[in-house]
Structure 1
């Protein structure tokens, strides 16, 4: 069993909870509240901006050109490709994509972003990858799960979203990151492996919490302040 196979086994409880979450399952059923979708897009747009910056940190920690090239390609993927599932959601609720940009991160998304940044800045490349990996990994498995469970046709309201994440090209990103993490883990100390596992587990948990955050339209407590 490889290191990342072990990670997947140890975190299956969170993966299954994600698959069964009402927002995720609602995508498969074609029935998610418009407010939840809008809240998700607002948070995910800014979260992905942070995600790209952490890819940049991974580049700074990379000793090999092939690693630098890989992370650079992932930045381009987020910029140019991952907007398509966002557009699917926006088209469904009839709101322009630009209207949902520039919002402050809700508590869970803010915590998730800072969790990844902590491991990226305080740990090595292995910790950085392990904090990033649950995002593409869970989304690829969500796409596979929904495609198998609901067999959506082209007229399904979220067909573009599901098919995008279920596509093998999306799965290849996960495989590439897993291979890099497996190679790093082989040379890592027991203590380093422990930190890698902790970073991965927390990111899985925060992926689940992100869906809950969107579904409940989570906000910061107290009165909302408007920037002047």
Structure 2
């Protein structure tokens, strides 16, 4: 197993709460209420702003050009791919980028993103990339699993564009690169005694991901 698989195996309940969340199930079946998805997507735009800062921190904390290039690739994927998807989808509801940027962050957005940034500030580059991993790799795995379901990418599913974006080859390559970065950093900086600390970071980030999905459903009053 690579480091990502080891971390996931060490925190199976936290991971399952994230990837098998009712919000995710609703994306795949197309039954997620539109209001929940719209609320989520606006907050996810704000989330990505903070994750871009986390990748900029990773550039700063890089010890080698390879470290810095890996972090820059993650930053570029956010700024040039993910945020474009959010702006495009939100524009269909009449929301401009300025509207998105002026929306207040919800509590789960702040809690998750600041946890990642705090982890990176007080820890090293490996700590930071482990905190980022559930989001970066998880979205690719979630979307790939959803895309494999009958009808998930059909015209009848209003969330097919989101699924296709994260299941597509460009984003899959981002996730593969993120896993490779984890292994490279672990070869340099991880001991077995340290693994449990990294697993705790991974588990907390996964729980915060689950909370972020739940936040999208709060608009429904449930």
Give the alignment's TM-score, normalised by structure 2: 0.87
Residue number in structure 1 paired with 2:159:
158
Residue number in structure 1 paired with 2:199:
197
Change (3 A) 1:95 1:33: farther
Superposed, 1:30-49 pairs within 5 Å as: 30-49=30-49
Give the alignment's TM-score, normalised by structure 1: 0.85
The answer as to whether partners of 1:58 and 1:71 remain within 8 angstroms in 2 is yes
The answer as to whether partners of 1:41 and 1:86 remain within 8 angstroms in 2 is yes
Unaligned runs of 5+ in 2: none
Residue number in structure 2 paired with 1:76:
76
Q: CA deviation at 1:85?
A: 3.7
Residue number in structure 1 paired with 2:95:
96
The number of residues matched between the two structures is: 218
Unaligned runs of 5+ in 1: 220-228
- Output the CA distance in 2 between the equivalents of 1:88 and 1:180: 30
Structure 2 residue 213 is the aligned partner of structure 1 residue 214: no
Q: CA deviation at 1:87?
A: 4.6
Map Cα deviations across residues 146-183 of structure 1 (whole Å, 9 max, x no partner).
11123434523222111111123312222222222223
- Output the CA distance in 2 between the equivalents of 1:8 and 1:147: 21
Q: CA deviation at 1:190?
A: 4.1
- Output the CA distance in 1 between the equivalents of 2:109 and 2:202: 16
Structure 2 residue 3 is the aligned partner of structure 1 residue 10: no
CA RMSD of aligned residues (A): 2.3
Change (3 A) 1:2 1:214: same
Q: CA deviation at 1:196?
A: 2.0
Map Cα deviations across residues 70-99 of structure 1 (whole Å, 9 max, x no partner).
21122121111113442564366x332433
